[in-house]
Amino acid sequence: MRRSSSLPPPPSTGERHDWQTIRQLIPYLWAWRGRVLLALACLVGAKFANVTVPLVFKGIVDGMDISRQQAVIVVPAALLCAYGALRFSTSMLTELREIIFARVSQEAVRRISLQVFGHLHALSLRFHLERQTGGLTRDIERGTRAIGSLISYTLYSILPTLIEISLVVGVLLYRYTPEFALITLATLSLYVFYTFRVTHWRMALRRRANELDSAANSRAIDSLINFETVKYFNNEGFESRRYDADLQRWGEAQIRNQKSLSYLNMGQAAIIACGVTAMMWRAAVGVSAGRMTLGDLVLVNAFLIQLYMPLNFLGVLYREIRQALTDIERMFGLMGTACEVADRPDARELPRGAQAVAFAGVDFAYDPARPILHQVNFTIPAGQTLAVVGHSGSGKSTLARLLFRFYDVGGGEIQVGGADVRSYTQASLRGAIGIVPQDTVLFNDTLFYNIQYGRPEASREEVEAAARAAQLEDFIARLPEGWETRVGERGLKLSGGEKQRVAIARALLKNPDILIFDEATSALDSRTEKAIQAQLEAAARGRTTLIIAHRLSTIMNADQILVLDQGQVVERGTHTALLAQEGAYARMWALQQQEQEA
C-alpha cells in the first residue's frame, strides 16, 4: 500500500480522448494498489451476496408451498437466517469497500490537484497574462471535483454493474429457458446503444454550457478585481448588463442541456418498461404451464428489479462519466500546456554571492510584430549599481522580467556570474534575485504574512527589522490591529506608498545577491522617499543592483546609468558625465528640475 515517490508526467498536448483520461488516472490509483485490490475484493463479494439473495428468497417461497407443509418449520427458518446474513453481508462489504478506498480517492485528487497547481506555476508569464483568472479557476474547480466523481464511478459503478449483470444472466441461462437471458441481453444492448448515442450528442451541449459558464465567471471576477475603475466611471449598470448577457446565454445552454437529459431519461424508461413487460409475460406463461413454481416467478421478478437498478444506473453512470470527462478535459488540457521557459536537463545551481550581470546583444519581443529590445549590451560588475532610465514603453521593465527569466531572450544572452542564465535552474536563479516591482500586489492576508513572504522561514525579529528599514514601523504601530492588519484583495486596503514600502521590506528580508528596484519609490512622497532612499542605498551596498527609475534624483549615485529609447541604449555613463553630454539624459534632467520648481 505504499505510494510511489514520483508523480506521473503531464499528458502530451493535442486532442484528448476519454480513454486517455482514464489511463492517466490509473498510475495515481495504482500507487495504492493494496487498498485498491482489497476494495475490489469487497466489491465482488458484495455483488455475489446480492445476487444470491433472490435465490434464497425463492427457496423461502417454495418452502411455504402448502404441498410441502412438512418443511414449513425447518427449511424456511434456515433460509431466513441465510437471507438476513446475505443482506447484511452486502451492506457490510459495500461499506468496507468505501472505508478502504476513501484514502485512495482523496489522495488521487490531492496529488492531481497539486500537480496542476505546480504546473500552472511553472508556466510562463505570457500564459498567465493571456488567460483570464476567473475562467482558469473555474476550470480547475470543476476539474478537481470531477476527478473524484470519475474515480468513484469508474471503480465503484462500472465493474459492479458488469459483474451483477453477468451473474444474473448466468443464473437465468442455467435455471430457465434461453428466452429469459435473450430478453435481458436484448434489453441491455438496446439500452446501452441508445444511452451512448444520445449522451454523445449531449456532450456538445455540455461543453457549450461549460464555456459560457467560464466566460460569465471570468466577466464577474474581472469586474470585481477592477472594482475601483468601475466606480470611477459609474459603470455598475454597464457591468451588470454585460454579466447578465453572459448569464442569459449560459441559461439558454443549460435549458437545452436539461431538455436533452429529459429526452434521454424518457427513452431509457421506455426500453426498461418493454424489457420488464416481456420478462414478466414469459414468467407468467411458465407458471401457468406448470414449468415454473411460484418461487420461480418471485425469483424472476426479484432479478428484474435487481437488474433494473444497475441498468438504470448504467445510464446515469455513463452520463455522469461523460460529463465528468468533459469537466476534467480543460484541466488536463492545462496540464498538457507546454512550458515556454523550462530548465535544461543539465541545468545547475547558481552559486550564492555577489554576481556580475551582463546583457550581451539581447533582442526580445512579446509579439514578433512588435520588437521591444534591440541589441541591448551592458554589464553590471559584481557589487555595483546600474540604473536604467527612459520614457514609458522603452523596455525598462522588460529587462527585469528577462533577468528573472520570465521569458527567454529572442537573441543574444543574459549572463549571471559569467554564464548564460539558461544554464542555471530557474529556482536558484530567482532565489538569488530580489525585486521591488513597480506594481506591488499583496496577498489578502496580514501585514506580517506579506512581509515574511520574502523569506517564509524568517524569524519575527528579522521581519520587524526589515519593516524598520522600509520605514514601516511607525505606520504599523498606528494600526489598531498592528501586524495582524489584513491588507485586502491585492492589497487594496493600503495606499500605493504603503504597498510599496511593504514590497521594499519583503525584498530586504529576502536578502538576495542581486537587487532590482523597478520604480521602487514612484508611489512615495518626497519626505518618505528621501528616508527610504538611504535605506535602499545601504541595502544595495555589496550587492549587484539594477535600478529602473523615473525620478532621476534617485539614481545620481549609481555607478553607471543607461538611457533606453525604443529598446536601444542611446547613452551611458555616470550622472555627471551624462549631464556633460547634453543629450537625452540632460534633457530629461532639465525637464524634471523644471517640474519640481513649478
Whether residue 372 is contained in a domain is answered as yes
Mean pLDDT of 522-546: 75
Of 506 and 147, the one with more pLDDT: 506
pLDDT at 56 over 80: no
Proportion of the chain above pLDDT 70, given as a percent = 89
pLDDT-derived band at 5 (thresholds 50, 70, 90) equals very low
DSSP 457: T
Q: Are residues 148 and 229 in the same domain?
A: yes
Q: What is the CATH number of the domain that holds 374?
A: 3.40.50.300
Are 32 and 3 in contact, with CB atoms under 8 Å apart?
yes
Using a cut of 0.85, tell me whether the model's pTM lies above it.
no
Helix, strand, coil in percent for the chain, rounding step 5: 65, 10, 25
Set of cell numbers at residue 442 = 499583496
Residue with cell 550564492: 352
Are 300 and 279 in contact, with CB atoms under 8 Å apart?
yes
Residue 58 is predicted with a pLDDT of 72
Residue 109 is predicted with a pLDDT of 80
What whole-number distance in Å separates Cα of residue 105 and Cα of residue 97?
A: 12
Measured at the alpha carbon of residue 298, what is the angle toward residues 297 and 302, in degrees to the nearest 5?
Answer: 120
Helices marked H in 294-395? 294-335
pLDDT at 103 over 70: yes
pLDDT-derived band at 199 (thresholds 50, 70, 90) equals confident
Residue 3 is predicted with a pLDDT of 39
pLDDT at 520 over 90: no
Q: Which residues pair with 518 in a beta bridge?
A: 548
Mean pLDDT of 64-79: 56
Whether residue 8 is contained in a domain is answered as no
Q: What is the CATH number of the domain that holds 66?
A: 1.20.1560.10
| Domains of the chain: total | 3
When mean pLDDT is compared across 460-464, 526-530, 537-541, 560-564, the lowest value belongs to 526-530
Range of the domain at 197: 18-335
Torsion on CA atoms 83, 89, 92, 94, rounded to nearest 10: -110
Residue 11 is predicted with a pLDDT of 39
- Interval 124-170: pLDDT, tens: 677 776 666 656 777 777 777 787 777 777 777 777 777 878 888 88
What whole-number distance in Å separates Cα of residue 43 and Cα of residue 159?
A: 9
Whether residue 13 is contained in a domain is answered as no
SS3 242: helix
pLDDT at 8 over 60: no
Whether residue 398 is contained in a domain is answered as yes
DSSP 68: G
Mean pLDDT of 193-201: 80
Q: Are residues 382 and 294 in the same domain?
A: no
Mean pLDDT of 542-551: 87
Q: What are phi and psi of 561, to 5 degrees?
A: -125, 135
Beta-carbon contacts of residue 505 (< 8 Å; ≥ 6 apart): 451, 454, 463, 466, 467, 469, 470, 472
- Interval 400-416: pLDDT, tens: 999 989 889 989 999 99
Q: Are residues 530 and 381 in the same domain?
A: yes
pLDDT at 596 over 80: no
Set of cell numbers at residue 227 = 472594482
Q: Are residues 521 and 506 in the same domain?
A: no
Helix then strand count (H, E) for the chain reads 19, 10
Q: Are residues 556 and 580 in the same domain?
A: yes
Are 284 and 304 in contact, with CB atoms under 8 Å apart?
no
Q: Are residues 494 and 572 in the same domain?
A: no
Whether residue 2 is contained in a domain is answered as no
Q: Which of 474, 470, 481 is nearest to 447 (CA)?
A: 481
- Interval 347-399: pLDDT, tens: 999 988 888 999 999 999 988 888 899 999 999 999 899 999 988 888 888 99
Residue with cell 412438512: 70
Whether residue 293 is contained in a domain is answered as yes
Whether residue 178 is contained in a domain is answered as yes
Burial class of residue 290, CB neighbours in 10 A (0-12, 13-18, 19+): exposed
Q: Which of 439, 398, 437 is nearest to 518 (CA)?
A: 437
When mean pLDDT is compared across 152-156, 470-474, 486-490, 588-592, the lowest value belongs to 152-156
When mean pLDDT is compared across 98-102, 300-304, 456-460, the lowest value belongs to 300-304
Q: Are residues 446 and 465 in the same domain?
A: yes
Burial class of residue 208, CB neighbours in 10 A (0-12, 13-18, 19+): middle
Of the three residues 287, 315, 335, the one that is the final residue of a domain is 335
- Interval 227-263: pLDDT, tens: 777 877 778 888 889 888 888 988 888 888 888 888 8
pLDDT at 483 over 80: yes
Are 344 and 423 in contact, with CB atoms under 8 Å apart?
yes
What whole-number distance in Å separates Cα of residue 172 and Cα of residue 179?
A: 9
pLDDT at 419 over 70: yes
Residue 18 is predicted with a pLDDT of 67
Residue 386 is predicted with a pLDDT of 93
Of 536 and 488, the one with more pLDDT: 488
pLDDT at 75 over 60: no
Of the three residues 315, 335, 355, the one that is the final residue of a domain is 335
Q: Are residues 49 and 146 in the same domain?
A: yes
Q: Are residues 506 and 530 in the same domain?
A: no
Q: Where are the beta strands (DSSP E) in 315-407?
A: 357-364, 373-380, 385-390
Of 546 and 2, the one with more pLDDT: 546
DSSP 424: B
Residue 412 is predicted with a pLDDT of 92
Residue 402 is predicted with a pLDDT of 92
Mean pLDDT of 11-28: 61
Whether residue 243 is contained in a domain is answered as yes
pLDDT-derived band at 221 (thresholds 50, 70, 90) equals confident
Q: Are residues 500 and 518 in the same domain?
A: no
Length of the chain: 598
Q: Are residues 52 and 139 in the same domain?
A: yes
Residue 157 is predicted with a pLDDT of 74
pLDDT-derived band at 101 (thresholds 50, 70, 90) equals confident
The rounded mean pLDDT for the chain is 81
Residue type, 283: A
Of the three residues 453, 482, 511, the one that is the final residue of a domain is 511
SS3 493: coil
Element at 230 (helix H, strand E)? helix 227-232
Q: Are residues 409 and 528 in the same domain?
A: yes
Strand order of the β-sheet with 568-573 is: 433-436, 514-518, 544-548, 385-390, 560-565, 568-573
